[in-house]
Amino acid sequence: MNYIDYIIATTSYILSGASLTLGLCAVTVAGAVPLSILCALGRVSGPKVIGRALAIYAWIFRGTPLLLQLFFIYYGLSIFGFNLPPFTAAGLTFILNYTAYMMEIFRAGIQSVDRGQYEAAKALNLTYWQTMRRIVLPQALKQSLPPSCNEAISLLKDTALVIVIGMGDLLRCAQEVFTRDFRITPFILAAIIYLLLTSAIIAFFRQLEKKLEVYN
Amino acid sequence: MSMIELIAVDKKFGTVKALDGVNLQVNKGEVVTIIGPSGSGKSTLLRSINELEKIDSGRIEVEGRMLVEVKNGNAKHPHGKTTRELSKKLGMVFQHFNLFPHKTVLENIIEAPMIVDGLKRGAAVHRALSLLKVVGLEDKQDSYPSRISGGQKQRVAIARALAMEPEVLLCDEPTSALDPELVGEVLLTLKQLADEHMTMVVVTHEMAFAREISDRLIFMDQGRILANGTPQQVLDNPEHPRIKEFIDKFI
Ligand SMILES: Nc1ncnc2c1ncn2[C@@H]1O[C@H](COP(=O)(O)OP(=O)(O)OP(=O)(O)O)[C@@H](O)[C@H]1O
Ligand SMILES: [Mg+2]
């Protein structure tokens, strides 16, 4: 087998792991984005108890390592008889962890919207939900784009942690090839794939920001 | 017929009495302007009518129907449907326009008619375009607020308020945030509305304008209405020393 064939074979093997990486990212985004918007609304305009509870939740999930949270949910819960499959455990952990961060980002975004916007909406008789959905959130989400881009990049890289609960992600596949062949190539290929993916994330956010720039 | 009535309205911010036993009646088709020194409670009065401020005590009526009544700290509102029906009769124009920056001029105007009143897009656009014509901005319908002048923004804000077909237009210093050369176009728009017998309550520092368009002029000081009469009555022979002092600063 020549070197080109080796690279192709290795790449396609690593890419098979990338599907797990991307699947986990997709699940996390699909869960954490809507959930964190709701939590942010709860913190900004919900009753005090809910605000306190959410603050404590953010404190815990932002103040402890993601890896520890993964251990808790995968191994820890099994002690109580909840044997979650690895992907479910990982998805749950990542959603809980990323919601804690994104909630704070969206909260800052919502609070950056001028009071006058609420007053104009009220004067026009929009309800609370209409005001949030049509007036406040679109402006808040735009403010949140730059920090959200950072979170998306972190997420992609953080998914590599699932190796510790035995999942075959992108990095795990590269590592297997390395162990088998004792060559640096699989790691280089993994790095290139990560870089391409993070570049795609950055390009996506740049496009989105550009599109929303029209009204600046 | 009484369009708006305030009865013994009090409002405090901490220890500051922003409104102190205010009684005021605005009749249908009447143009009432409110003048007075800074901090005298003019904005608070206007904002209370629209429930942007919650009053501490007193009663506010719209077309003779109770909008809110506060007695001994207990607020009473009519049913949600009545509240919506009554507050829909009130339109508001703000000092800082408060246009929605992420929506174009046209989208700003059709937003509430579509979302609140459930108007079809075509009908809402039709109404918006005729209002843009009234305020002289047909050519700006696709601009974002950031791309038009302050005077144009305020005219869009007026069109946006009118799109809900209110019975009353409340204007809080509609020209105070504008460069001097842009004040005229907004005053002209408001005068046009006054000429069409739109009921209006306008807080302003533009004395000549107040004199010209007002059926009634109100002078406020320290949360109280010190004078309430025709512009001539209030401005030409001020009985109260505070009013004299205030007017002298403008001449
Ligand atoms: N949100 C608030 N919190 C605390 N105090 C307030 C608030 N709004 C108004 N006040 C106080 O209430 C009083 C009346 O204020 P208001 O804004 O109604 O005055 P104004 O007549 O509109 O003044 P201006 O001409 O400067 O706009 C002032 O003493 C003001 O400082
Ligand atoms: Mg004011």
Residue ranges of domains in chain A: 3-215
Ligand nearest to the CA of B37: 1
Q: Length of chain B in residues, anyone?
A: 251
Residue A1 has pLDDT above 80, yes or no: no
User: How close is the Cα of B41 to the center of ligand 1, in Å?
Assistant: 6
In a domain, B196, yes or no: no
Query: Considering the domain boundaries, does residue B133 fall inside one?
Result: yes
A112, amino acid identity: S
Ligand nearest to the CA of B219: 1
- pLDDT at position B250 is 73
Note whether A124 contacts B161, CB cutoff 8 Å.
Answer: yes
Distance (Å) of CA A105 to CA A33, A132, B60: 11, 16, 40
Determine, for residues B98 and A119 on separate chains, whether the beta-carbon distance falls below 8 Å. Answer: yes
State if residue B13 touches ligand 1 by the CB under 6 angstroms criterion: yes
Residues A140, A143, A146, A150, CA torsion sign: negative
pTM of the entire predicted model: 0.92
* Count: domains in chain B: 1
Mean residue pLDDT across chain A: 94
CA neighbours closer than 13 Å in the CB half-sphere of residue A197: 20
The answer as to whether B188 is a domain residue is: no
A172 interfacial to chain B (CB closer than 8 Å): no
Contacts of B94 in chain A (CB under 8 A): 116, 119-120, 123
Report the topology of domain A3-215: MetI-like fold (1.10.3720)
d(CA B84, CA A53): 33
Report whether residue B94 contacts ligand 1, using a CB cutoff of 6 Å: no
Closest approach of chain B CAs to the CA of A33, in angstroms? Answer: 21
Q: Determine the residue among B96, B104, B109, B115 to mutate to test chain A binding: the one whose Cβ has the most chain A Cβ atoms within 10 Å.
A: B115
B124 is a domain residue = yes
pLDDT tops 90 at residue B248: no
Q: What are phi and psi of B239, to 5 degrees?
A: -85, -30
ipTM of the complex in this document: 0.94
| pLDDT score of A120 | 97
Residue nearest to atom 18 of ligand 1 (CA): B41
pLDDT at B251: 63
Ligand 1 pocket mutation, candidates B10, B11, B13, criterion most atoms within 8 A of CB? B13
Say whether residue B247 is in contact with chain A using an 8 A CB cutoff: no
pLDDT value at B238 more than 90: no
Q: What is the mean pLDDT of residues A77-92?
A: 92
Structural domain range at position B140: 99-165
Phi, psi of B132 (to 5 degrees): -65, -35
Residue B69 CB partners (closer than 8 Å, separation 6+):
B58, B59, B60, B75, B76
Q: Is B115 on the interface with A (CB under 8 A)?
A: yes
Confidence check: pLDDT of A147 > 90: yes
Mean pLDDT of all residues in B169-196:
93
Average pLDDT of chain B is 94
Chain A contact present for B106, CB below 8 A: no
